[in-house]
Amino acid sequence: MIEEDFYATIKLKNGEEIFAKVSPSEEEGRTLLLVNNPIIFSEVNSRSTYGYKVEPWLKTTTEDLIIINMDNVLTIVESSNIEMISLHQKYSRKLNSLVNGEKKTNSNTLTKEMGYISTVKDAKDKLENIFKNS
């Protein structure tokens, strides 16, 4: 009997490791995994903090459901790690809101409120003038 949805880490035969909400499915005598918003984690270390960077597994699609044939899976481990599940849920909510058009602002858009835009040479000249005149 196949279980209901669960969170899992999936190690693929090509070496990739993904984390997702998984729904196993039997079709035509083979097992398929329906993975919801598969993500990859990267560990981030600095002097003062430690954490994870969350990125989409497939970077060129906004599809939230991906089908993986079990023939491509090396191992799958069910996860009960609350931190990992919480990060996945937060990522999924953010992705869904972006896809549904709830957030239309681009954080990479430059505005005047962010400061002045200039070339390095112009900024250097302005700073030298301020220094000379002070």
Spatial neighbors of 11 by CB under 8 A, at least 6 apart, are 17, 73, 74, 75, 76, 77
User: Rounded to an integer, what distance in angstroms lies between the CA atom of residue 39 and that of residue 118?
Assistant: 37
Distance of CA 70 to the CA centre of its chain: 23
Confidence check: pLDDT of 4 > 90: no
Fold type of domain 6-109 = SH3 type barrels. (2.30.30)
In the chain, where the domains are located: 6-109
Residue-wise pLDDT for 72-84, tens only, equals: 999 999 999 998 8
Residue 70's closest CA among 34, 120, 110? 34
The predicted pLDDT at position 116 comes to 61
Residue-wise pLDDT for 10-60, tens only, equals: 999 999 999 999 999 998 888 899 999 999 988 888 888 778 788 999 988
The structure tokens listed for 9 are: 């880490």
User: Rounded to an integer, what distance in angstroms lies between the CA atom of residue 108 and that of residue 35?
Assistant: 30
The structure tokens listed for 20 are: 């997702």
User: Rounded to an integer, what distance in angstroms lies between the CA atom of residue 69 and that of residue 12?
Assistant: 10
